[in-house]
């Protein structure tokens, strides 16, 4: 076991808990992505392009799309921003997705969640071509990922897995508890941990005695979308704490896990903000680069 792994799983001095710095890791990965983008340009003469679709005028969604566009620029990619009015129908949105599927210059498609309530979001997700599903939102992609076949994983859980691997967090044989069962976070997170040989429990709104489940977890993932629902006093000594939530506050923001004192209990933890969020966007960009490499005929098995 490496020194990093030992510190992250068995440290007795929890003042030295490992900070799982997603912002720092994302910055490191971007350096390598710029090199990969340059190789794609040299090979094909084309620039990797991510198409982002924003339906309606939700300010938070607009901010997320802008952040993703900025990330594209930092690695030398282009982005196409498709903005559609809030009155857009499911049929109109599907037509736009089909158009982007057929556009050979577009390597990845992101439909920003959520869409207006009258739009069938799942039907629209399913129209994204598998080769361009860089956000990992289709049922086909989820099924293939679960069966350990080639597919792009949902970006937040895939980013979490990358962060855990980078810090040599031992997963095999560990008890993992995922709080939340959404289609693009909780469920794929559970399957990725299962595929890494964890014993996985998924908790949700109908779970009896949430605290008891959390207390036995070696790895706890907060993915429920409720501010500080998971209490620090529930976390057992030496656990790895992953907070995938973010809720703005006057002091900057909190996650789904009450983090006060967690660094004195956990062996490793993600900060909020700066932990999971940067890895989500980074994974989207990284998977778009991989899609562009495949389109250009590069050997992605050697570089992804």
Q: Is 225 exposed, middle or buried (0-12, 13-18, 19+ CB in 10 A)?
A: middle
Specify the pLDDT at position 46.
Answer: 96
Establish if 195 belongs to a structural domain: yes
Question: Predicted confidence band at 302 (pLDDT cuts at 50, 70, 90)?
Answer: very low
Establish if 139 belongs to a structural domain: no
Q: Is 277 exposed, middle or buried (0-12, 13-18, 19+ CB in 10 A)?
A: buried
Q: Do 245 and 196 sit in the same domain of this protein?
A: yes
Which is catalytic among the residues 21, 96, 112, 132? 112
Active-site annotation holds for 92? no
CA atoms within 13 A on the CB side of 32: 11
Residue-wise pLDDT for 21-36, tens only, equals 999 999 999 999 999 9
Which is catalytic among the residues 68, 96, 187, 263? 68
Establish if 29 belongs to a structural domain: no
Closest by CA to 190, choosing from 142, 140, 236, 238, is: 142
- Per the structure, the complete domain to which residue 93 belongs is given by 45-132
Q: Do 110 and 206 sit in the same domain of this protein?
A: no
Establish if 183 belongs to a structural domain: yes
Which is catalytic among the residues 96, 127, 132, 135? 135
Residue finishing a domain among 97, 132, 167: 132
Where b means 16+ CB within 10 Å and e means fewer, 182-214 reads bebbbbbbbbbbeebebebbbbeeeeeebeebb
Active-site annotation holds for 112? yes
Closest by CA to 243, choosing from 211, 267, 271, 266, is: 271
Angle between helices 186-195 and 139-146 (to 10 degrees): 20
Q: Do 99 and 84 touch, CB atoms closer than 8 A? A: no
Residue-wise pLDDT for 71-117, tens only, equals 999 999 999 999 999 999 999 999 999 999 999 999 999 999 999 99
Q: Do 103 and 197 sit in the same domain of this protein?
A: no
Number of domains in the chain: 2
Residue-wise pLDDT for 166-193, tens only, equals 999 999 999 999 999 999 999 999 999 9
Q: Do 124 and 161 sit in the same domain of this protein?
A: no
Q: Do 177 and 127 sit in the same domain of this protein?
A: no
pTM of the model: 0.92
Establish if 23 belongs to a structural domain: no
Active-site annotation holds for 135? yes
CATH classification of the domain holding 236: 3.40.50.720
Question: Predicted confidence band at 299 (pLDDT cuts at 50, 70, 90)?
Answer: confident
């Amino acid at each position: 076991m490496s020194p990093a792994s030992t510190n992250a799983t068995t440290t007795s001095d929890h003042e030295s808990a490992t900070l799982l710095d997603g912002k720092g890791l994302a910055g490191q990965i971007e350096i390598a992505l710029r090199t990969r983008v340059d190789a794609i340009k040299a090979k094909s003469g084309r620039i990797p392009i991510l198409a982002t679709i924003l339906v309606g005028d939700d300010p938070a969604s607009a901010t997320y799309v802008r952040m993703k566009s900025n990330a594209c620029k930092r690695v030398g990619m282009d982005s196409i921003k498709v903005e559609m009015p809030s009155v857009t129908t499911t049929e109109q949105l599907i037509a736009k997705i089909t158009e982007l599927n057929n556009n050979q210059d577009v390597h990845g498609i992101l439909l920003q969640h959520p869409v207006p309530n009258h739009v069938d979001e799942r039907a629209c997700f399913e129209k994204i071509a598998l080769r361009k599903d860089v956000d990992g939102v289709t049922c086909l992609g989820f099924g293939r990922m679960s069966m350990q076949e080639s597919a792009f994983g949902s970006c937040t859980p895939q980013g979490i897995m990358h962060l855990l691997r980078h810090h040599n967090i031992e997963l095999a044989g560990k008890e993992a508890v995922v709080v939340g069962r959404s289609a693009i976070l909780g469920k794929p997170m559970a399957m990725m941990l299962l595929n890494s040989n964890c014993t996985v429990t998924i908790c949700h709104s109908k779970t009896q005695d949430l605290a008891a489940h959390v207390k036995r977890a070696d790895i706890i993932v907060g993915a429920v979308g409720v501010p500080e629902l998971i209490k620090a006093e529930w976390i057992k000594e030496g656990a790895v704490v992953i907070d995938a939530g973010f809720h703005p506050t006057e002091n900057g923001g909190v996650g789904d896990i009450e983090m006060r004192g967690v660094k004195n209990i956990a062996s490793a933890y993600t900060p909020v903000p700066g932990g999971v969020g940067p890895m989500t966007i980074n994974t989207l960009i990284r998977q778009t680069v991989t899609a562009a490499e495949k389109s250009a005929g590069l050997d992605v098995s050697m570089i992804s």
